[in-house]
């Protein structure tokens, strides 16, 4: 028995050395190694083309809206080819901030006062060199809402502004209170459910340019806030349309997904520390109302929201806040055309929680659901430094609404 074991070890070692030499030599000699590489490449390509690269699912019950998107925003009906070496949702989410470029944008900052004595920082890209819209009074305006701890410096915001610049539009970035370097004048920050600051910003921008067509685009929590605003106002808004990217539709499902061990390790803990960092600079102001030592001990977004966010905005429990913050509850009341892009593999917004059936009950809603893309990822191309699929959806939809929006319900 011992001899047979020794013979098996020798045979295994010799077979391993033989295969290794064949692969090494085959690349330049016999062709065995090259055949293996080519075989793997063909198999991977077949898998990618059959299971990864797919057309997005377009959910819209309004035939006019569908035809409008097919004609003026064709990217939502075309096959999305994720980056071939980085198509998994977590990888897309993690790598996008490091891979994508950061276009240079010169902002004009404005601080506006709020009714409660606070202040909001707006970063304007006026695009005064616009060739298509030289008249500033009628130059189309895009309001951009970044994610949970995001500002006007985020790469996805910079790319949206770059796309808008080429089309001749003006952009305004709404930075949530205390997040973009300005001081907190009151012990209040922001949350996904309270739309008072957003209402003030929209009113302010519209009052400055009442003759300019006006659209908003929100990303992640910015998209949730925008949806909650639209659900609250219905048709009573100066916005003519909105675009939503990677919104968390059901906050309960989002935090549950983020609390799974791997997702907590990759995203939840880091996001929690970012939230804590965003308020630590304002500790002297905030500790008038909060036990900041307890807030700083949070290790999940849920714990942070329980000790800080829900308390700040007067919710009895964390569940009350999460219920009010979930846009799926207000989708039926949206009164203007809205395009929503989500990836089914987004751990921040699980595919099973996307309100497909609810969206079908509102003629103003169109969902674009990709199989891959992660959270604010949507990388494409071999080396996705520049334009992403999300950027192309943004550009085509905004251009379609500004230039052909009057046709949307007449087709």
Active site residues: 220, 346, 375
Lateral strand order in the sheet of 108-113: 57-59, 365-370, 338-343, 241-245, 214-219, 141-145, 170-175, 119-125, 108-113
Question: What are the C-alpha distances in Å from 210 to residues 141, 204, 216, 334, 357?
Answer: 10, 10, 15, 22, 36
Three-state DSSP state, 290: coil
- Please check whether residue 337 is in contact with residue 352, taking contact to mean a CB–CB distance below 8 angstroms: no
Q: Count Cα neighbours of 52 within 13 Å in the Cβ-side half-sphere.
A: 20
Alpha carbons 324 and 322: distance in angstroms, whole number: 5
- What is the per-residue DSSP string for 352-407? GGS-HHHHTT-TTEEEEEESS-TTTT--BSSS-SS--HHHHHHHHHHHHHHHHGGG
Residue with tokens 């790598």: 95
């Amino acid at each position: 028995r011992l001899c047979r074991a020794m013979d098996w070890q020798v045979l295994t070692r010799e077979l391993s050395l033989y295969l290794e030499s064949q692969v090494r030599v085959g690349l330049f000699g016999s062709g065995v190694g090259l055949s293996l590489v080519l075989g793997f490449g063909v198999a991977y390509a077949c898998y990618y083309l059959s299971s990864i690269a797919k057309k997005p699912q377009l959910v819209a019950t309004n035939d006019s809206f569908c035809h409008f998107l097919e004609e003026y925003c064709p990217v939502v009906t075309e096959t999305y080819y994720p980056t071939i070496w980085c198509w998994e949702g977590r990888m897309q989410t993690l790598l996008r901030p490091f891979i994508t470029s950061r276009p240079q944008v010169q902002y004009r900052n404005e601080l506006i006062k709020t009714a409660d004595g606070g202040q909001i920082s707006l970063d304007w890209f006026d695009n005064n060199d616009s060739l298509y819209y030289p008249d500033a009074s009628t130059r189309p305006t895009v309001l951009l809402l970044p994610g949970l701890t995001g500002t006007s410096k985020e790469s996805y915001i910079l790319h949206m502004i770059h796309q808008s610049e080429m089309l001749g539009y003006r952009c305004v970035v709404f930075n949530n209170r205390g997040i973009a370097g300005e001081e907190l004048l009151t012990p209040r920050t922001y949350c996904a459910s309270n739309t008072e600051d957003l209402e003030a910003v929209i009113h302010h921008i519209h009052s400055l340019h009442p003759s300019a067509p006006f659209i908003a685009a929100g990303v992640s929590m910015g998209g949730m806030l925008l949806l909650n605003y639209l659900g609250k106002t219905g048709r009573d808004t100066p916005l003519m349309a909105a675009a939503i990217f990677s919104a968390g539709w059901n906050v309960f499902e989002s935090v549950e997904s983020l609390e799974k061990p791997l997702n907590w390790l990759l995203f939840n803990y880091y996001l929690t520390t970012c939230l804590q960092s965003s308020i630590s600079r304002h500790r002297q102001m905030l500790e008038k109302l909060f036990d900041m030592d307890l807030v700083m001990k949070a290790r999940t977004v849920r714990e942070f929201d329980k000790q800080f966010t829900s308390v700040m905005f007067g919710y009895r429990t964390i569940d009350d806040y999460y219920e009010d913050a979930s846009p799926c509850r207000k989708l039926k009341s949206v009164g203007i055309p809205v395009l929503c892009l989500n990836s089914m593999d987004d751990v921040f917004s699980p595919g099973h929680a996307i309100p497909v059936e609810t969206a079908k009950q509102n003629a103003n809603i169109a969902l674009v659901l990709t199989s891959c893309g992660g959270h604010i990822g949507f990388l494409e191309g071999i080396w996705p430094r520049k334009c992403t699929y999300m950027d192309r959806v943004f550009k085509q939809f905004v251009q379609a609404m500004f230039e052909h929006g009057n046709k949307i319900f007449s087709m």
